Amino acid sequence: MTVVSRPPLTSDERTQLTGWLDLQRSFVRMKCAGLGEEDAHRKLLPTSPLMTMAGLVAHLRWNEYSWFQLNLMGVPDTGQTPWTEDGHPDAEMFVDDVPLAQLLDEYDAECARSNETIAGLSLDEVEKGPYVAKGEAASLRYILCHMIEETARHLGHLDIIRELLDGTTSYTKAPE
């Protein structure tokens, strides 16, 4: 995914929501650019050992799947997700043996699938999945707002981890 532009200042609600989400999504690959496998999987936070560059990319990928496929569309989980009934709640972040390039490609593919899934839906469409929070189904509008927040929050984590790894900050390239 290449870095996209901000949505137009006066565009409609759907263009704003999907545009901001796509912009945040595009920064994920940018934050990982030039990173070696060892650094992508390096555990820098003793109290949060799953919070690695690779772990966060995997987490974002599975959040896309969870919100747009499982929750919104009601696609049944037939064992394709990393979660199990008695498993670790952050099982999606156990990716020490998965190359970063693969995780990024899976994330990009999941984002594209999410966009295809919602393309023809109204922003008022509500969740069909069995994971409806507190008995109240969320609208696509809510899900898009949440995914903007979720992606942007984890981009902040990626920013910090990347700076700790090699000094790369904000929207700059890694030091030569």
pLDDT in tens, 49-98: 999 999 999 999 999 999 999 999 999 888 888 888 888 888 899 999 99
Q: Can you read off the two tokens belonging to residue 73? A: 């569309």
Residues 6+ apart with CB under 8 A from 91: 82, 83, 84
The answer to whether the CB of 161 falls within 8 A of the CB of 53 is yes
The DSSP-derived string for 128-153 is -STT-GGG-PPBHHHHHHHHHHHHHH
What's the confidence (pLDDT) of residue 175?
Answer: 41
Q: Where are the domains of the chain?
A: 20-77+88-166
- 20-77+88-166 has which fold? Four Helix Bundle (Hemerythrin (Met), subunit A) (1.20.120)
- Rounded-to-integer distance, Cα 75 and Cα 129, Å: 7
> Which residues, including other chains, have CB under 8 Å from residue 123's CB and lie 6 or more apart?
13, 14, 17, 139, 140, 141, 144
- H/E stretch holding 37 reads helix 37-40
- pLDDT over 90 for what percent of the chain? 73
- pLDDT value at residue 155: 95
* Displacement of CA 152 from its chain's centroid (Å): 9
pLDDT tier for residue 102 given thresholds of 50, 70 and 90: very high
Q: Facing residues of 161 across strands?
A: none
The pTM assigned to this predicted structure is: 0.92
| Residue 61, pLDDT score | 97
Which of 12-16, 17-21, 108-112, 168-172 is predicted least confidently?
Answer: 168-172
